[in-house]
Structure 1
Amino acid sequence: MAGDDEILVESYLERLEGLKDMFPQSVRNLTSSTVSAGWSVFGFTKQAIWVVSTTAMIMVLPYVIEKERADNEKAQVAQQRQMLLGPQAALPQQGAR
């Protein structure tokens, strides 16, 4: 009686091992190669994203910093001009038409 009511305890790995006989070898090989290719593509994509993002930062960041510095310098010159020559001096001068 104890043998009939006993619950068989098995791990997920043991269950998967038992299920592998359910599928033909060709299906198992195809699944294995597909999963392997997927992991390879994932790894390559991860590396490519890292290379592209770090390269973009190294190339773009100096430009952004220099542009910000130039804009601040222009704003400072305009503020000094306004303080010295009055409010109309800060506006860009229009040429004769």
Structure 2
Amino acid sequence: MVSDSEEKFYFYVLLCADKTLYGGYSTDVYRRFKQHEAGRGAKYTRVKQRHPLKLVYYETFSTKTAALKAEYAFKHQSRKRKLAYLAEHGITLDL
């Protein structure tokens, strides 16, 4: 069993087929991505026109609170700021 001090928390960003960005939180980013791909993720990613999905970025945090704050901040930005955030972290997308 993993103790709380060893557990990792993730903020991640998916690029959807319709060129939209989805930000989320998880304790296991790859398991969560598979859930999104299988249509068992968030309502936003269940829409078939948004598939295929691509995991374009994730960031690791030591606390759940920090990861959730990063997700919240990302989701409440304009598309332009979301793309700037990704660029600041070395991710450039050809949209």
Work out whether the TM-score is over 0.5: no
Task: State the TM-score bracket (shorter-chain normalisation).
Answer: under 0.3
TM-score (norm 1): 0.23
TM-score (norm 2): 0.24
Bigger RCO of structures 1 and 2 (CA < 8 A, at least 6 apart): 2
